[in-house]
Amino acid sequence: MDSTASFPTYTEIRDVTHTAFGIKPCISQIQAAAAQIEKKSDVIYISGTGSGKTLTFWMPMLFETDSITIHVTSLNILGDQTAEKLNELNIPAINLTASNASPANFAKIKAGKYRLIVVSPEILAKNKGFEELWKHTTFKQRLRRINFDEDHCISQWGGSFRPDYGSLYSLRFVVPKSVQFYVASATLPDEVLKDVWNKLHLKYDTQIIRRTNDRWNCSLVVRPMQHAIRSFHDLDFLFPNGWTPGQLLPHKFLIFFNSRKEAEAAAEYLWKKFGLDLRKHVLWFHSVITEGYRSEKIKSFAKSQGGEDGVWGLMCTDAAGMGLDIKDITLVVQWRVPMSLCTLMQRFGRGARDLALTALCILLAEPSVFTSFKEKSAERKLATEVKNGTKLRIKEKGINGSVQASRPKFIRPKEREKQEMELAMDNFVNADGLTWNCRRRVCDIYFGNDKVGEAFCCARCYPRTPPRCCDLCNPELTSIFDIPTFLMTLDLASGPADAYERGEVNWKLHSELRKWRSRTYEEFWGYDDPLGLGDPIILPDEILERIVDLAHYKVLNNVSDVLDQTRWVDYDELAGKMFAIVLKWNPPRQALFTSMPRVARDGEGEGGMGIVPTIMEKRGYVRKTVKCSACGGAGHNSESHLQVTALWLISFQDERVLKRIRRISLLRALAFPVQR
């Protein structure tokens, strides 16, 4: 944009972005884009994971038709995704990697073929092609800004791990002063922000746009490991008791590890324990895999609904997991305590990107990091010293009675990990001993969320109260570790509309639910809705549609089923009223069998079936009542149960439903709906 031209208004930025990307940006995204377009100084944008930071990188380019932007990213997979998206939108982009950073491509960049250059810190700092670009006048004149994605990595990875992150400040000395630095991250507490500011040599008047990074729909749980770390037995809760290959899992999950070897070992353990067929569905996922394999498995993971096909879960490291943007991950587990709370929150931020869902985020921590363990360990050590005091004094003193100078101590990896764990991470793990007694409160204070006074404009960005905060505020969250007996839920997420054709009853239920939603909205909000969100704030459309589908399949047996099957959390206190409407139009199916005690006729034994008592009955034995292993009912067995269920389904003469219900477990779920 020409410096003499007027800047676009917020409304213009919103409308142009909506036209180009099909997304209406929130107010904070518009503020970030406007600050970049005005170019008064550098800009820092802090916002939670999944809140749309990536969009703010591209919005200014819609108003700068001749500009060039360099986008620094930490992972190649992120670079590939970025270049692919921009090319689809007719914004020429290239992801420079070690394999394609050739003189030919740098010649194209110099000629202005690409408006966006995605690059890693290593290529940017060491490749001679960039040295030539910094000398090219036309290129430097068109260069408008340098983006730094996930810039908390500059602080955390700028040491010995990836030293080129620490040398990015040198860009200030080779690019024109007019080039803007734009940095964005979800995890920039004050100490990390200060470090990033210094390492990038950001300008003194840098503009900071800050939103809360709290993920209200992610519940936080910390659990001490119950078994040896190398055994991986603490991951058994992923598969409920009675689970067999082919059955659905309760969650689509990510398990984060601090090393590749641990990720591979954990995957192999699950394969051996739950069947080698699991190798198709639960994979390790890290940097040492091919680009083709990574792309294929990410697509499979994104589409999977937990059925017989697709990937159900990934055992991953940051190198692979940090770039994942999949909407329906409902379980994220961190195996062992990471070094920083920033790292943990970035990993937990992969969960429940769809705001209609909730995710459970679990840290499986070594017992040694808990204060209670440390205190007991110190007590044992003191008791040992008192018991063996004489020997210890002899070891501590030399021949002449003086204390010997201590030698440098070799720090074992485990001890190094404990030494490097930051205070905020320690507070998060041991929050039960703090005044707040809340893990989310620890995060809010560390990241400054309690001081943020942000603007909001829509259902995506308005602040909400977490329905289930953490295991300290909601102890019931830890029930997932009880490894319950396998309970089947009906899989309608892959598209129920093609499984049946809605009849009159379905549409009447749909209509009454909409009317009830409107009445409830008026009762709760009336004309005082500050956001103008309308009645979907009470019951989102996608949940309303799912309720109609579940009612058709007779899955909703009680109020608890409504909450379990839909994950409806915003107004769960209204579930009873909504369920009453379901009962009116589509009541649950009655049990197929009714077992009544039979009145004995004269001459019959208590459990006999004939007129003359059997020999066993004469001796005092009573025939054991037949009990069904499928539903727990008396008077029939599982074989007859399934036969009658199949006959009942056939009576509907709906071949599409029969094709969809292939497995015995689903037959059981339909005949005798899931109980909590």
Give the pLDDT score at 528: 60
Q: How confident is the model at residue 94 (pLDDT cuts 50, 70, 90)?
A: very high
pLDDT at position 444 over 70? yes
Question: Do 142 and 66 contact (CB within 8 A), yes or no?
Answer: yes
d(CA 534, CA 180): 40
Give the DSSP per-residue string, 26-78.
-HHHHHHHHHHHHTSS-EEEE--TTSSHHHHHHGGGGG-TT-EEEEE-S-HHH
* For residue 390, pLDDT beyond 60: no
- Cα–Cα nearest to 269, from 320, 226, 230: 230
In this prediction, residue 386 has a pLDDT band, given cuts at 50, 70 and 90, of: low
Res 675: pLDDT: 41
Q: Is the pLDDT confidence value at 417 over 50? A: no
Task: Report the C-alpha gap between 26 and 42 in whole angstroms.
Answer: 21
State residue 359's pLDDT score.
Answer: 95
User: Is residue 654 scored above 90 in pLDDT?
Assistant: no
Q: Which residue's structure tokens are 């509309």?
A: 497
pLDDT, position 569: 58
Per-residue pLDDT at 389:
60
**Residues of the chain above pLDDT 90, percent:** 36
pLDDT at 366: 94
At 634 the three-state DSSP class reads strand
* DSSP string of 74-139, one letter each residue: S-HHHHHHHHHHHHHTT--EEEE-TTT--HHHHHHHHTT--SEEEE-HHHHHH-HHHHHHTT-HHH
Sorting pLDDT into bands at 50, 70 and 90, what band is 539? confident
Query: 442-473 burial, b for 16+ CB within 10 Å, e for fewer?
Result: bbbbbbbbeeeebebbeeebeeeebbbbbbbb
- Which residues, at least 6 apart from 407, have a Cβ–Cβ distance to it below 8 Å? none
Predicted local distance difference test score (pLDDT) of residue 408: 38
- Per-residue pLDDT for 663 more than 60? no
Across 243-254, average pLDDT? 82
Lowest-pLDDT range, 10-24, 216-230, 447-461, 565-579? 565-579
Please compute the mean of the pLDDT values over residues 502-530 and round it to a whole number: 80
Calpha distance 306→320 (Å, rounded): 21
Question: Residue 596 corresponds to which tokens in the numbers above?
Answer: 């009544």
Determine whether domain 218-368+420-446+457-482 maps to CATH 3.40.50.300.
Answer: yes
What is the Cα Rg of the chain in Å? 31
pLDDT in tens, 471-497: 999 999 998 887 554 444 444 444 444
Residue 182 or 667, more confident: 182
The alpha carbon of 221 is separated from its chain's Cα centroid by a whole number of angstroms, namely 13
Residue 570 has pLDDT above 80, yes or no: no
Identify the top-confidence range among 322-326, 340-344, 485-489, 564-568: 340-344
- pLDDT value of position 285: 87
Read off the pTM: 0.69
Q: Identical fold at 10-210 and 218-368+420-446+457-482? A: yes
Q: What mean pLDDT comes out for the span 202-225?
A: 94
pLDDT of residue 137: 93
Residue 202 CA to residue 172 CA, distance in Å, equals 9
Mean pLDDT of 414-439: 79
Q: Which pLDDT belongs to residue 402?
A: 39
**Every domain of the chain and the residues it spans:** 10-210, 218-368+420-446+457-482, 496-585
Model pLDDT, residue 306: 61
User: What is the average pLDDT across 239-267?
Assistant: 87
pLDDT reported for residue 410: 35
Of 527 and 9, the structure prediction assigns the larger pLDDT to 9
318: helix, coil or strand? Answer: helix
Distance CA 43, CA 32 (A): 8
**Statement: residue 453 has pLDDT above 90:** no
Output 449-452 pairs: Cβ under 8 A, ≥24 positions apart: 449/212, 449/213, 449/214, 452/210, 452/211, 452/212
Which range among 75-79, 364-368, 605-609, 645-649 has the greatest average pLDDT?
A: 364-368
Residue 134 scores a pLDDT above 70 = yes
Q: Can you give the pLDDT at residue 116?
A: 95
Give the per-residue pLDDT at 412. Answer: 42
Mean pLDDT value across residues 533-558? 80
What is the structure's pLDDT at 670? 42
Pick among 2.60.120.620, 3.40.640.10, 3.40.50.300, 3.30.2420.10: CATH of 10-210: 3.40.50.300
Mean pLDDT over all residues of the chain? 78
pLDDT in tens, 98-133: 888 899 999 999 999 999 999 988 889 888 999 999
Region 126-144: mean pLDDT is 93
Write down the pLDDT at residue 267.
94
Segment 325-337 shows an average pLDDT of 93
